[in-house]
Amino acid sequence: MCLSLSEGGRSGASGQNAGRPKENGKTRLLGVPTVVDRWLQQAVSQVLMTKYELTFEEYSYGIRPEKNIHKAVTQALKYRAER
């Protein structure tokens, strides 16, 4: 697999689509990731997270470890109370 990735030969798995009905009667195809796809996504995520996590400000509440909407709202209310 590593050789395939380094040569740019990796592409998504074919036939891994699931159809979901839409309100207009048509079907929306959704790609279902394979185990290998999820493994690669997680590996890339971990590498990027360790690189960029240090550059985020402490008050940045995007999709980050130990950060969530509840903590963001709590902090916003604290800032508002300080005014």
Tell me if 71 is assigned to some domain. yes
The tally of domains found in the chain comes to 1
Tell me if 70 is assigned to some domain. yes
pLDDT tens, N- to C-terminus, the chain (83 residues): 666 666 666 665 555 677 888 899 888 888 777 888 889 999 998 898 888 888 887 778 877 778 888 989 998 999 999 98
What's this model's pTM, rounded to 2 decimal places? 0.48
Tell me if 79 is assigned to some domain. yes
Tell me if 75 is assigned to some domain. yes
Q: Which of 1, 71, 81, 83 is nearest to 40 (CA)?
A: 1
Question: Is the Cβ–Cβ distance between 45 and 33 less than 8 Å?
Answer: no
Tell me if 11 is assigned to some domain. no
Tell me if 69 is assigned to some domain. yes
Tell me if 37 is assigned to some domain. no
Range of the domain at 64: 58-83
| DSSP character string of 34-50 | -HHHHHHHHHHHHHHHH
Tell me if 51 is assigned to some domain. no
Q: Which pair of structure tokens corresponds to residue 80?
A: 């508002």
